[in-house]
């Protein structure tokens, strides 16, 4: 990625990578880290459907929880939507 790549160009590059490596609909693994205190986990669950599979792993010191969430999505756009919605959660780190 060059420093001059616009947000739209980056999104299109990522969309092409996702489309090249997935056949939609497809199960997709999302990864996030949230602080262990507060509503991070509950807010994260609001982003995904009730059918999404959540796996949680606390950090060594217990201050954070790492989540792997598997959900069947129908397009690269749905992947972007999940990550963009999760970005509004205080303290979230998207991987």
Q: What is the pLDDT of residues 8-24, one digit of tens each?
A: 999 999 999 999 999 99
Query: What per-residue confidence (pLDDT) applies to 37?
Result: 87
pTM: 0.89
Q: pLDDT tens across 49-86, in order?
A: 999 999 999 999 999 999 999 999 999 999 999 999 99
**Any residues with CB less than 8 A from the CB of 27 and at least 6 apart, and which?**
70, 71, 72
Please report, to the nearest 10 degrees, the dihedral formed by the alpha carbons of residues 43, 47, 50, 54 taken in order: -70
Contact 55, 68 (CB under 8 A): yes
Domain boundaries, the chain: 23-94
**Domain 23-94 classification at class level:** alpha beta
């Amino acid at each position: 990625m060059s420093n001059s790549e616009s947000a739209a160009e980056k999104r299109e590059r990522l969309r092409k990578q996702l489309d090249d490596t997935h056949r939609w609909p497809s199960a997709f693994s999302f990864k996030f880290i949230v602080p262990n205190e507060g509503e991070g986990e509950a807010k994260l669950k609001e982003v995904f459907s009730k059918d999404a599979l959540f796996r949680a792993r606390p950090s060594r010191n217990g201050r954070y929880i790492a989540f792997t969430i598997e959900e069947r999505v129908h397009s690269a756009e749905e992947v972007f939507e999940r990550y963009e919605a999760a970005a509004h959660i205080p303290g979230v780190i998207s991987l």
